[in-house]
Amino acid sequence: MGAVTGGRKAEWNRRAAGLALTMMALILVASTGWTVSAQSPVPAGEPVQIPLASKAAIVMDAASGRILFEHNAHQPLPPASVTKVMTLVLALEAVERGDVSLTDMVTTSSRAASMGGTQIWLETGERMAFGDLLYAIAVGSANDASVAVAEYLAGTESAFAVRMTERARELGALNTQFLNASGLPPQTVGLTGDHVTSAYDMALISRHALTLPHFLELVSTYGPVVMRPDGKR
């Protein structure tokens, strides 16, 4: 796959290290966008009012876990593709344990190939390296790659989603329930129930993700990347 190489990659990783820490510390879970208007400097010690359009928000220091700002931080809300942070967590933990390798070849199921939304157009029966699928998830937010990884690790996406929820609870994310690996609305992929998390929970999960080998490299890779130049789709 065509990721950034050589000196350019090193420069991007250097610049993106601080950027990714900042971005992952600020987790906004909302059905609408968020806005912050320009304000005059506030004297030290006085509270800062931040006008938001989002339903929930949090700013957490990635190093210490200290909460710097929060708004409805524990309210369960649909996380959409932020779900993929948890998908990457389980995948990279499996790599760290030695259960799988980044060079493992993963065969795409018909279900994985059928995912809509953002995707890399995997074809049924197509084989791709596990590590390349992780790049597709992190850089391209690929729903088909998310399902392929979930099925490879747990047999089925539903079983993987159970693991996602269990691991989230272990990390302290108590207002979280995952039903799939991509974040697609459950009803669009034949599921029922609530697929939700909170701003606080996603901040906890993201803070843990930053400690895992390869995570920062994945999320700081400059995109888009060309994953399948010879694909039929």
The label of the residue with tokens 């931040």 reads 50
Name the active-site residue from 9, 55, 81, 158: 81
End-to-end CA distance of the chain: give it in Å, rounded.
Answer: 17
Tell me whether residue 141 is one of the annotated catalytic residues. yes
Residue 129 · residue 104 · CB < 8 Å: yes
The Cα 207–Cα 60 span in angstroms is 9
Distance from chain centroid for Cα 199: 13
Question: Which of 222, 216, 200 minimizes the C-alpha distance to 57?
Answer: 200
Instruction: Name the 3-class secondary structure at 187.
Output: helix
Name the active-site residue from 54, 109, 141, 146: 141
Rounded to 10 degrees, the C-alpha dihedral 16/18/20/21 comes to 160
Give the distance between the most distant pair of CA atoms in the chain.
61
Q: Alpha helix locations (H) across the chain?
A: 6-25, 84-97, 110-113, 130-140, 143-154, 157-170, 199-209, 215-219
Instruction: Name the 3-class secondary structure at 28.
Output: strand
Name the active-site residue from 84, 109, 182, 206: 84
Instruction: Name the 3-class secondary structure at 107.
Output: strand
The label of the residue with tokens 């079983």 reads 159
- The catalytic residue positions are 81, 84, 141
